[in-house]
Structure 1
Amino acid sequence: MRKTNAARILDQMKLSYELKEYPVDESDLSAVAVAQKVELPVQQIYKTIVARGDKTGVIVACIQGDLELHLKGLAALSGNKKVEVVPLKEVQPLTGYIRGGVSPLGMKKSYPTFIDSAVTSQEKISISAGLRGLQIFLRPSDLIMAAKAQVGKIATEPS
């Protein structure tokens, strides 16, 4: 199994994690599909969303797989008036990762990272390892430390 930048960062910090491979279906890269393949509840799958704030520029949000990003909440937490999700075509140039394989760890540049507060109720979570078909399982506190993330209410139930 290939080591990714995200895994190398966790190794350097001596944080424990587990890598889990799963079959990729290009037509369904959803958190729900990933959850089924890695046998975790979707509430423990954290998806990474790249956004841009009117004051801060690029920021990163991690939210539970079954929730939606709350743009106003992210704006408030990140010190912006307005936040928009970046267009898909900008994700790879900004992060070095492709859709379905965006990890909050090991991006091309270090962006301010925000994780939804629901994370604190989980014992373990799963994030993309930086490749489609590879997830990292780790403790929420370790992700918060490794990503130097701020935690707050940035997700909402789908409408």
Structure 2
Amino acid sequence: MRTLDQARVGYSLHEYDPAEGAEGHGYGEVAVAALGADPAQVFKTLVAQVDGRLTVAVVPVSGQLDLKALAAAAGGRKAAMADPAAAERSSGYVRGGISPLGQRKALPTVVDQSALGFATVLVSAGRRGLQIELAPADLVRLTRATTAAIAR
């Protein structure tokens, strides 16, 4: 949130119990249910490797990351999901709470273009149970992201 405050970006925080209804569901699905949000408007932050380089992908909870599309968008040939420990180490956040904002190490970032169709989107605020709602243009600018169709 320091990143957002320093950039003077408008945002709101949404807190929920990450354990409630979590059994058998992904972290993003739990956030959607707890907040009563549109799953297409809540985005999950995934860390992948594109040609061996760690890369951040931000996709809607309602979809899945298309690794081939991510590789193409990041200027690479091959993509695979990163090891969870490597994702946690590079971002400084725990799995299920990785935020695209304020990561320990700035990584190339690709945001699914569907985000631009909303006035605001929700992404993890850096821990399980806390989401940040902000304008997608601010998300793209602050993460120095590119946008592309990377979800299916």
TM-score range, shorter chain: over 0.9
Q: Quick check: 2:18–2:30 contact (8 Å CA) kept in 1?
A: no
Question: Who is 1:67 aligned against?
Answer: 63
Q: What displacement does 1:90 show?
A: 2.1
RMSD over aligned Cα, in angstroms? 1.2
Opposite residue 78 of structure 2, the aligned amino acid is K
SS, match of residue 130 in structure 1 = coil
SS in 2 for 1:35: helix
**Which residue of structure 1 lines up, in the alignment, with residue 33 of structure 2?**
36
State the partner residue of 2:8. 14
Alpha-carbon displacement from aligned partner over 1:8-39 (angstroms, at most 9, x marks no partner): 10111000000111001164443222111122
AA in 2 matched with 1:24 = P
Match of 1:99 in 2: 95
Q: How many residues align?
A: 149
2:137 counterpart SS class = helix
Map Cα deviations across residues 79-106 of structure 1 (whole Å, 9 max, x no partner): 1110111122322112111111000011
Q: Which residue of 2 aligns with 1:82?
A: 78
Task: Write the distance in 2 (CA, Å) between the matches of 1:21 and 1:117.
Answer: 26
How far the C-alpha of 1:47 sits from its partner, in A, is 0.2
- Please identify runs of 4+ aligned residues in structure 1 that moved more than 6 A: none
1:3 aligns with: none
| Whole-angstrom distance in 2 between the partners of 1:137 and 1:33 | 16
Structure 2 residue 143 is the aligned partner of structure 1 residue 142: no
TM norm structure 2:
0.93
* Residue aligning to 1:46: 43
Work out the percentage of aligned pairs sharing the same amino acid.
35
Q: Distance in 2 between matches of 1:32 and 1:44?
A: 12
Q: Which runs of 5+ in 1 are unaligned?
A: 1-6
Letter in 2 for 1:114: V
**3-state DSSP of counterpart to 2:70:** helix
Segment drifting more, 18-27 vs 145-154:
18-27
3-state secondary structure, aligned to 2:125? strand
- Unpaired stretches in structure 2, ≥5 consecutive residues: none
